[in-house]
Amino acid sequence: MTLPGYKVFTPLIFVSFYVLALLTASSSGVSQSFQTQEKFWADPATGFAIGGYDVVSYWSNMGPVLGKDAYEVQMEKTTWRFSNQGNYEEFVKYAGVYTPQFSGYGAYAVSQGKAPRGNPRIWAIVDNKLYLFFSIEGKIKWQETRENSIRKAKEQWPALRRQIARPN
């Protein structure tokens, strides 16, 4: 005897388990990989983007936290770490939303034509974009003239990006 809806329900279960298996595989050791034109700053010793901080965590009430080795994504030759499964999945879906402006280099310094690495603990989110700063002083100066600093940094960034991308 066939239960009503059984034939419709069986393929749905199969597809559900298949999708669940894919999600589980992608989050348990199988590394994701993304292509990008940006060269994000990474710790030279570890290869972790922005010092291993979880970029999605900046949008939480807790602020930035270090990521864990259980939640990693490769983008080009840079490893991005996340503090939990939810942040990992959010980044995989929307990497462009969470990656810092100017590839994580100090926003105020970029507006001045320089490109020191941004400090992951000195940051701001403006118009849903993450900015890192080299120093507290740079952040204060940037905040005093924020719109002008962002405009100038956007003008300076293409030349700085080319300079950073050059092989040593």
State the Cα torsion 52-57-62-66 to the nearest 10°. -10
> Could you give phi then psi for residue 7, rounded to 5 degrees?
-65, -30
User: What's the count of helices (H) and strands (E) in the chain, helices before strands?
Assistant: 5, 5
The span from the CA of 91 to the CA of 136, in Å, is: 27
What are 31-70's pLDDT values in tens digits? Answer: 444 444 456 878 888 889 999 999 999 999 889 999 999 9
What are 91-144's pLDDT values in tens digits? Answer: 999 999 999 999 999 999 999 999 999 999 999 999 999 999 999 999 999 999
Q: Give the global pTM.
A: 0.76
